[in-house]
Amino acid sequence: MTPFTTLTGIAAPMPLVNIDTDMIIPKQFLKTIARTGLGKNLFDEMRYNLDGTEIADFVLNQPAYRKAEILVAGDNFGCGSSREHAPWALLDFGIRCVVATSFADIFYNNCFKNGILPIVMPQEVVDVLMADAKRGENARQTVDLVAQTVTTSDGQVFPFEVDAHRKHCLLNGLDDIGLTLEKAAAIDSFEKKNATTRPWA
């Protein structure tokens, strides 16, 4: 997993509440177990017409936001059914951070496991970040996980809270497998001892 330390990038404004996982990645794209290739179908039903042409006024189809790395969204982001494909699709598109007033629990947890930083902010702060994002591609925001701050394009700094363990994992690029491998020496030692003291096991 790619470590997350500091990110400076384009922030796309998506002022919608209750964006569910089916909106993020519709069910027909869940057949794959690969984490790549889903970015093209991110927000598919909002991004494309039935004939496959782009919907011009959808934010991620606008020239200013085609390379967005931060998403500023409304309340209850990631609600609906549980699907790890949702953060996979965001990450494959290039989104590394989502800011909202709240997230659905399973989606929130899945973000950390896949290298995306979900940040919970008060409504008044999200409003400022949303307005800043609406200024376009020159209004780049900076997310500093070490300092736990988000800085707007004009220098306003807002702190955020994050669980210490999840912060450690993101900073070091550790998913569940990576965390286990950190204990490889202890696991090897246990297995050698166990093979001697419990050879029947």
Average pLDDT, the chain: 91
- Of the listed ranges 28-42, 68-82, 106-120, the one predicted with least confidence: 28-42
d(CA 151, CA 136): 15
Beta strands in the chain (DSSP E): 6-14, 70-73, 97-100, 117-120, 140-144, 149-151, 157-159
The answer to whether residue 76 is domain-embedded is yes
The per-residue pLDDT for 175 is 73
In a domain, 1, yes or no: no
CATH number of the domain residue 159 falls in:
3.20.19.10
Chain center to CA of 91: 6
Establish if 164 belongs to a structural domain. yes
188: pLDDT confidence band, cut at 50, 70 and 90? low
Rounded to an integer, the average pLDDT of 73-79 is 97
Structural Rg of the chain based on CA atoms? 19
Range of the domain at 36: 6-197
Q: How many domains does the chain have?
A: 1
Does the pLDDT at position 163 exceed 80? yes
Please indicate whether residue 198 or residue 126 has the higher confidence score (pLDDT).
126
Instruction: Write down the pTM of the prediction.
Output: 0.88
- Domain membership of residue 151 (yes or no) is yes
- Residue 182 or residue 91, greater confidence: 91
Inside any domain, residue 53: yes
pLDDT at 182 over 70: no
Structure confidence at residue 36 (pLDDT):
85
